[in-house]
Amino acid sequence: MKLKTTAEHLVYLLGAHGVEYLFLNPGTDTAPVQEAVYSLAEAGLPGPALLPSTFESVSLAAAHAYWKMTGRPQAVFVHVDAGTQNLGAQLHNVLRDRAGVVVIAGKTPYGEVPGPTGGRDNPIQWQQDVPDQPGIVRGYAKWMQEVTRPDMLDRAIGRAVQVTASAPAGLAYLTVSRDVLMDPPRLDHSRVRGFAVPTPAAPDQDAVARIAAALAQAAAPVLVTSRAGRTAAGFAAVEALADLAGLPVTGRLECGPVNISSRHPSNLPGRADAAAAISAADVILLVESDVPWLPGTVTLRDDVRVFHVDPDPAKTSMPLWAYPVDEAVQADGPVALAAITAELRRIADGQPDIAKRLTDRVARSRARPPAPRPEPGSGPITPLAVMGALNEVIDPEDIVVEEAVTNAAAVYEGLERTRPGTLAGAAAPGLGFALGGSLGVKLARPDRRVIAVTGDGSFLFGVPTSALTMAAEWGTPFLTVILNNGGYRASRLPVYGLFPDGASARRGTAAGTRFTRAPDYPALAAACHAYGERVEKADDLVPALRRAAARVDAGQAAVVDCVIEQD
């Protein structure tokens, strides 16, 4: 087939670069792309599957989550400046979680009709002509490019996919006007090969030797990692180091993936325990951690040595990142951890005293009694009771998308997650990830059950009318468990914290933080093709979750609204 438009070339190139899904929020600017999707399909040419969306932040969260599950960037097409703005806080999450996503935005046409095909023929196209459309994402994008000529398209798409996927991954933002999309494609020199994504960086071997030697000599080492478990190999590397060195593993302040089984004796999910271990440590190994501890909760030893391994150890996107690092190593976390563990094993094999120190520490860590498992219990529902009930209902391979905010501690300390890749929050605080994120996880892992565990505020930030209808439309059902404490607890506690004797504390509430007219969540679910239940007593949690999970297994999204009393 001879391609007729640059839009056809664009869709074709996305597929050629491995993009499987094109999430589309259409507008006047996307007409050539919409036509291209059908014309390429009729011609039998491969291209990404089109997923229509009714809100941009939901699409972006889905693409972000898909990246987390697969490491493959997808494309989100949004409508000029307005659609870019609707990406909203999910842009923040893509930046902080280092996700690979290509966002393509229409740009208002340059030409006027009569004139070039696709030129301005609608009043809005003058209004859309804003001074700095890329400026909307400038602080969040890793790379930006406008396609101004058809003959640059092959390089623009190739670079977008290459740059977004290379470490540290980040947003690629392309803009293209409708008249350029309508131009005849320039295929004579078109290429799709030659845009290799760099392999994950291995650490400097001398640095590996120094870190392993420090761990071998340490009396009280600790591993702080927020993201090493983002790959199965990274999860295995964390557990291998913990099994060899018996050191505590922490680093959940950013609410990242499962880095180590929640049942592993080295797992230290509690914030206070983590702060104590870090304060006591003589060697701290930070691996892909942006917020390893809160300075106010930790007093470091004078003789501590801090090693930091990260693809971007200088944290160039964080202006005042100033954790006291003695040695910074630029490398992929999972790759570096495997190398450090191998080197430590080599040292222990040659030095019996070190081998004994390590095995003693492993034995001590295994002798500690495991944390008690939460029970669903009876009476009023607590966040831990919900975790206890979920532990009874869900499978080890189910994937939980966490956005539990002030109840994240209950998730990390109470929910059993023993396998890699079974916890997938945004790992960043732009609320509204869990629902779109669950769609993306389900797209990537259609064989798994997906469960969003979210605050009631976060549920609403997730644009549930859009996400639940998309679940029906895309065939990506998921279960949502709302930890419904009647509003924004996270925005209330700091008021009490800063003003312990203030007017808010005296009243027992803070302005703007309670939902006095909350939606009827099960009814909202029902209106969006989903199953819904409200649960008010802990005894009812397990049966309700089982009924909802059965609906999800049968192909329908479900929402369980768990009513929790919290200050």
Ligand X SMILES: Cc1ncc(C[n+]2csc(CCOP(=O)(O)OP(=O)(O)O)c2C)c(N)n1
What is the rounded CA–CA span in Å between residue 22 and residue 12? 11
Find out whether 17 and 192 touch, Cβ atoms under 8 Å.
yes
Decide if residue 455 touches Mg ion (CB under 5 A): yes
Q: How far is the CB of 183 from ligand X (least distance, A)?
A: 38
Q: Is 358 helix (H, G, I), strand (E, B) or coil?
A: helix
Q: Give the interface segment with ligand X, choosing from 100-108, 178-186, 419-427, 484-492 (CB under 6 A).
A: 484-492
The count of residues in the chain is: 567
Q: How many CA atoms lie within 13 A of 292 on its CB side?
A: 30
What is the rounded CA–CA span in Å between residue 491 and residue 512? 8
Structure tokens at 1: 């087939």
Please identify, using beta-carbon distances, which residue of 493 and 527 lies nearer to ligand X.
493
Q: Which does 406 bind (CB under 5 to 8 A by kind): Mg ion, ligand X, none?
A: ligand X
DSSP string, 544-561: HHHHHHHHHHTT--EEEE
Q: Which does 317 bind (CB under 5 to 8 A by kind): Mg ion, ligand X, none?
A: none
Among 21, 55, 412, 488, binds ligand X (CB under 6 A): 488
Closest-by-Cβ residue to ligand X is 455
* Residues with Cβ within 8 Å of residue 386, at least 6 apart in sequence: 376, 410, 453, 481, 483, 541, 562, 564
Please identify, using beta-carbon distances, which residue of 51 and 431 lies nearer to ligand X.
431
Size of interface with ligand X, in residues (CB under 6 A): 18
Q: Give the interface segment with ligand X, choosing from 105-113, 128-136, 140-148, 427-435 (CB under 6 A).
A: 427-435
Please identify, using beta-carbon distances, which residue of 431 and 525 lies nearer to ligand X.
431
Decide if residue 540 touches Mg ion (CB under 5 A): no
Decide if residue 89 touches ligand X (CB under 6 A): yes
- Please give the radius of gyration of the chain, using alpha carbons only, rounded to the nearest integer: 25
Among 224, 485, 521, 562, binds ligand X (CB under 6 A): 485
Decide if residue 61 touches ligand X (CB under 6 A): no
Residues 106, 40, 438: CA angle, nearest 5 degrees: 60
x/- site string to ligand X, residues 371 to 410, per CB under 6 A? ----------------------------------xxx---
Decide if residue 64 touches ligand X (CB under 6 A): no
Decide if residue 456 touches Mg ion (CB under 5 A): yes
* Residues with Cβ within 8 Å of residue 418, at least 6 apart in sequence: 258, 261, 262, 263, 396
Q: Which does 491 bind (CB under 5 to 8 A by kind): ligand X, Mg ion, none?
A: ligand X
Q: Is 327 helix (H, G, I), strand (E, B) or coil?
A: strand
Phi, psi of 278 (to 5 degrees): -70, -40
| Sheet containing 327-330: order of strands | 249-250, 221-225, 283-287, 305-310, 327-330
Decide if residue 541 touches ligand X (CB under 6 A): no
Q: Give the interface segment with ligand X, choosing from 182-190, 199-207, 342-350, 451-459 (CB under 6 A).
A: 451-459
* Residues with Cβ within 8 Å of residue 127, at least 6 apart in sequence: none
Decide if residue 561 touches Mg ion (CB under 5 A): no
Q: Give the interface segment with ligand X, choosing from 208-216, 236-244, 485-493, 496-504 (CB under 6 A).
A: 485-493
Decide if residue 111 touches ligand X (CB under 6 A): no
Residues 482-501 that bind Mg ion (CB under 5 A): 485
Decide if residue 457 touches Mg ion (CB under 5 A): yes
Decide if residue 458 touches ligand X (CB under 6 A): yes
Decide if residue 455 touches ligand X (CB under 6 A): yes
Please identify, using beta-carbon distances, which residue of 430 and 532 lies nearer to ligand X.
430
Closest-by-Cβ residue to Mg ion is 455
Decide if residue 491 touches ligand X (CB under 6 A): yes
Decide if residue 262 touches ligand X (CB under 6 A): no
**Can you name the residues that pair with 50 across neighbouring β-strands?**
22
With the CA atoms of 151, 153, 159 and 165 taken in that order, what torsion angle do they form, in degrees rounded to the nearest 10?
A: -170
Whole-Å CA distances, 257 to 44, 69, 168 = 39, 11, 17
What beta strand segments (E) does 116-274 contain? 141-147, 171-177, 221-225, 249-250
In the chain, how long is the greatest CA-to-CA distance? 84
Which residue type occupies 216?
Answer: A
Size of interface with Mg ion, in residues (CB under 5 A): 4
Q: Which does 212 bind (CB under 5 to 8 A by kind): Mg ion, ligand X, none?
A: none
Q: How far is the CB of 483 from ligand X (least distance, A)?
A: 7
**Can you name the residues that pair with 484 across neighbouring β-strands?**
563
With the CA atoms of 406, 301, 285 and 206 taken in that order, what torsion angle do they form, in degrees rounded to the nearest 10?
A: 160
Q: How far is the CB of 492 from ligand X (least distance, A)?
A: 8
Please identify, using beta-carbon distances, which residue of 28 and 485 lies nearer to Mg ion.
485
* Residues with Cβ within 8 Å of residue 62, at least 6 apart in sequence: 23, 51, 53, 436, 437, 439, 440, 443, 470
What is the rounded CA–CA span in Å between residue 123 and residue 126? 6
Q: Give the interface segment with Mg ion, choosing from 32-40, 109-117, 336-344, 477-485 (CB under 5 A).
A: 477-485
Q: Which does 59 bind (CB under 5 to 8 A by kind): Mg ion, ligand X, none?
A: none
Decide if residue 231 touches Mg ion (CB under 5 A): no
Q: Which does 23 bind (CB under 5 to 8 A by kind): Mg ion, ligand X, none?
A: none
Decide if residue 456 touches ligand X (CB under 6 A): yes
Decide if residue 461 touches ligand X (CB under 6 A): yes
Q: Which does 431 bind (CB under 5 to 8 A by kind): Mg ion, ligand X, none?
A: ligand X
Please identify, using beta-carbon distances, which residue of 22 and 171 lies nearer to ligand X.
171
Please report, as ranges, the residues that interact with ligand X according to CB under 6 A. Answer: 89, 405-407, 429-432, 455-458, 461, 485, 488-491
Please report, as ranges, the residues that interact with Mg ion according to CB under 5 A. Answer: 455-457, 485
